[in-house]
Chain A
Amino acid sequence: MTESAVRPTPASPTPPEGHLLEVRDLHVEFRTREGVARVINGVTYHLDAGETLAVLGESGSGKSVTAQAIMGILDTPPAYVRSGEIRYRGRDLLTRSEEERRQVRGTEIAMIFQDALSALNPVFPVGWQIGESLRQRAGLSRADARRRTVELMDLVRIPAAATRLGDYPHQFSGGMRQRVMIAMALALDPKVLIADEPTTALDVTVQAQIMDLLADLRRDLGMALILITHDLGVVAGVADRIAVMYAGRIVEHADVRSLYRAPAHPYTKGLLESIPRLDVRGQALSTIPGLPPNLMRIPPGCPFHPRCLYAQQVCVDEVPHDLVLGDGRTSACHFAQEVHDDRAR
């Protein structure tokens, strides 16, 4: 893990070598009738082959929008990429034509979505939907596509796959539907899989199964995985690194162990403390005071300062830069070191 990769380096013309996927200083805004919402404000992160990056944040923090910008499936209007780079294998996707970007989707970078029931087309059988990529993109014959579809459904552990090809999405349970989504995303053997809150709509037991499946698939197929979630519990067992997002920025970036041991940003700290603990009885749930900012009026300075227990005058006046804490950790907080050392609370 190189430090230069996690630091925002918009001015540096030489890209760091070797990352599979790299988002650099990405800015996305939504132009609506009510005004311009700055949804992504300089997001920088990277992903190496075979690793799992968790992107963590509340709804509206910009984690899904970043993913959709990588995929090139943002709805324009209202979403516009204002600046930044999205480099895949060293080449900036944002400068490529729509046709070139389409070629990347599915074959190189694939994505699965939160609610599989609405993400699947309700009027086509699941076998048809999984096989569609194989027939349309890989040029497989009907029979070959069918055979490969059954393989894919077996791979994601859908029982009696061959008999369920003709079933429709509404005939599957939530967990099975998400497996169909995963099979569909894997059809063209992508190198990067983006999972956008893949377990949010599921029961807790099923959540664990899907997370295990994703982890196994990532290992077996040698993919890199971007796991978008708002659930710290989901992340712990699966991810290598975590990027925490707030108001369209990465506020903290660390490997999972060090982040859990000692968060270096007050927001991460608040998130960790708000997880209910089973081993402490009768403890009041701690919450982060206040609400996420209105993206049309992001507070000056550090966007988290109105909710922050550590906030000082400097937080209102100056936007904090990423502070490097060693081990490739960064925290966009003026008091990162203090927060980090404050762990024994």
Chain B
Amino acid sequence: MFRFILRRLLQMVLAFFGTTLIVYALMFAGQGDPIQALAGERPVTAAQRAYLTEKYHLDATGVGGFFYRYLNYLGGLLRGDLGQSLTGRQIGDILAAAWPVTVKLALIALAVTVLFGVTAGVLAAIRRSGVFDHATLVLTLLVLGIPTIVLAPLAQYFLGVRWPIFPPTAGAQPSFRALLLPGIVLGSLSLATALRLTRTSVTENLRADYVRTARSKGLVRRRIVGVHVLRNSLIPVVTFLGVELGNLMSGAIITEGVFNIPGVGFNLFRGIRTEDGPLVVGIVSVLVVVYLLSNLVVDVLYAVLDPRIRYE
């Protein structure tokens, strides 16, 4: 197991360089004149141009110049310096402010997913073809069919404005209560998937031979389902949830946008919209690390849950 983790960490280093390089290239390759983009509509004086050219190492041109800037950027990254956004703010500070909000939102969404999705999935499986099973099937199909861009404003309108159960928007320094509705909206999609996945997995395992053995041991049904079946059924579900947590952590552009939550997705979207290259690349670089780490956690968890899998 130790060797497996070590090997995966080494692979992560490669993946990290690869992804940051691609993102860096895509973000800056398409740009015309970065200095003019920075200035927007206003004219740029020769002195300003000279200053900015030096500051952003724009004097070196071509592929060599690109790699020079990329390596320079990486060097800063490795020292923990994400650089400045075009608006002059430290990207590290922006992320430090945005991340806790996104993490809170992600955890709410994940809690909703586990609490309702997994529970309902188990119930639907043990009462297969019952009313509950059919009801959840219709509901999950509905949720899976509606894109977040529709679901989020609908929830905001009905539950935030029409019947003001929740605050309609979050704003800076959002409270737990303000994040609850966006968390539910964000979680509903993974909830539906988790429900379907759990139901299928539990249904399959209920038919397994070891269930027959457990029954022949005279165990009560609650224990057979709650211990024997559940432990086996949760292997694929936990894998899904792990990957999903990585997704949620990287911010939800639409949900954060609709509910005006100053999280990672919100900032990333702003970066893209204002062509703020350093901001986008900075956020994405960190997202890559979050993604890689969450995948590693999933792999390790997988081995813990299923003893048949041993990584060596």
Residues of A within 8 A of B (CB): 68, 71, 73, 75, 102-107, 110-111, 113, 115, 118-125, 132-133, 136-137, 168, 170, 181, 184-185, 187-188
**B residues near A118, Cβ cutoff 8 Å:** 208-210
Question: Quick check: is B219 within 8 A (CB to CB) of the other chain?
Answer: yes
B209→A73 contact, CB < 8 A: no
A119→B217 contact, CB < 8 A: no
Scoring B217, B219, B235, B306 by chain A CB atoms within 10 A of each residue's CB, the highest score goes to B217
Expressed in whole angstroms, the minimum distance between the Cβ of B133 and any Cβ of chain A is 15
A122→B213 contact, CB < 8 A: no
- Please classify the interface of chain B as helix (H, G, I), strand (E, B), loop, or mixed, using the class held by over half of its residues: helix
Expressed in whole angstroms, the minimum distance between the Cβ of B71 and any Cβ of chain A is 47
CA distance A174 to B214 in the complex (A): 20
B219→A122 contact, CB < 8 A: no
**A residues near B212, Cβ cutoff 8 Å:** 68, 73, 113, 119
How many residues on the B side are at the interface (Cβ–Cβ under 8 A)?
22
**A residues near B218, Cβ cutoff 8 Å:** 102-107, 133, 137, 188
**B residues near A187, Cβ cutoff 8 Å:** 217
Question: Quick check: is B308 within 8 A (CB to CB) of the other chain?
Answer: yes
CA distance A123 to B227 in the complex (A): 11
Question: Quick check: is B131 within 8 A (CB to CB) of the other chain?
Answer: no
Given contacts A105-B217, A113-B209, A125-B307, 11 further A-B contacts (CB under 8 A): A68-B212, A103-B218, A106-B217, A110-B216, A119-B210, A120-B213, A122-B210, A123-B306, A123-B307, A137-B218, A137-B219
Question: Quick check: is B23 within 8 A (CB to CB) of the other chain?
Answer: no
23 CB contacts below 8 A, A to B, read A73-B212, A73-B215, A73-B216, A102-B219, A104-B218, A105-B215, A105-B216, A105-B217, A106-B217, A110-B217, A118-B208, A118-B209, A119-B209, A119-B213, A121-B232, A122-B210, A122-B308, A123-B235, A123-B305, A133-B217, A137-B218, A184-B213, A184-B217
CA distance A120 to B216 in the complex (A): 12
CA distance A123 to B307 in the complex (A): 6
CA distance A185 to B218 in the complex (A): 11
